Amino acid sequence: MAVVSWALTDLENVKRFLGISISDTTHNVLLQRLIDSASSYVEKATDRLLLARNFDKAIAADRENTWYNGDGSAVLFLKQYPVNSISAVEINGSSLAAAGTTDYYGSTGYAFFERQGKLYYANGFTTGIQNIRVSYNAGYANSTPEREELRELCNALVALVHKSAVKGTLGFKSERIGLYAYTKGDLKGVDIFGIHGEEIIFRYKRKWGGQ
């Protein structure tokens, strides 16, 4: 069983965290399922897709994150952030170019603010239903401190449940561990870089977007 492509950690990192030899494959399937479950839990708890990835307006599965309702205002918040790059912006089927200079107020092009995933277009995003469509890359890349913090949080969640599974205290067989549902209570046993797990989740909860 392979770890999902959007997993917040990987098998090698988890093994190092647990002190398991990389060459020891005894618990690989169990650990991979736990990685998937922990990654899914963190994304659901924060209401965000956290690992850097592309969102394409032409792909049906991405529409929730790439098709937006215009309301005539000059600001549009993309659902996923931070935004690393934007490859296309359309209004009513017409392409909108990026602003050519940093002095974009009054410009005919758009500008974006990475941290909030905010698009700015001085002429306004025309009112309509899903008439604004954006292709972009958003999320935390491997080189960012946020990515490392999220990786360690995921490692800790995996370790928390792995310990119980190995001891046989979860109440079901290890091959069904992928069905384990993390809860807020699990975060009470997690401490990353001196920061409580609940605080980390709260810090990454969605603040913008979600239109």
Pair (95, 132) in one structural domain: yes
Pair (150, 119) in one structural domain: no
Pair (63, 30) in one structural domain: no
For residue 3, being part of any structural domain is answered with no
Pair (82, 154) in one structural domain: no
User: Model-level pTM?
Assistant: 0.83
What are the pLDDT digits (tens) for 61-80?
A: 999 999 999 999 999 999 99
Pair (156, 103) in one structural domain: no
Q: Which residue has the higher pLDDT, 179 or 115?
A: 115
Range of the domain at 198: 11-50+141-204
Across all residues in the chain, what is the average pLDDT? 84
**Mean pLDDT of the region 165-185:** 49
Q: Which residue has the higher pLDDT, 142 or 129?
A: 129
The structure tokens 């929730």 sit at 64
Number of domains the chain is built from: 2
DSSP per position, 125-188: ---EEEEEEEEEEESB-TTSHHHHHHHHHHHHHHHHHHHHHHHT-SSS-GGGGGG----GGGGG
Pair (62, 114) in one structural domain: yes
Pair (126, 147) in one structural domain: no
Q: Which residue has the higher pLDDT, 146 or 179?
A: 146
For residue 62, being part of any structural domain is answered with yes
Domain end: 115, 138, 161, which one?
138
**Mean pLDDT of the region 175-186:** 51
Pair (31, 68) in one structural domain: no
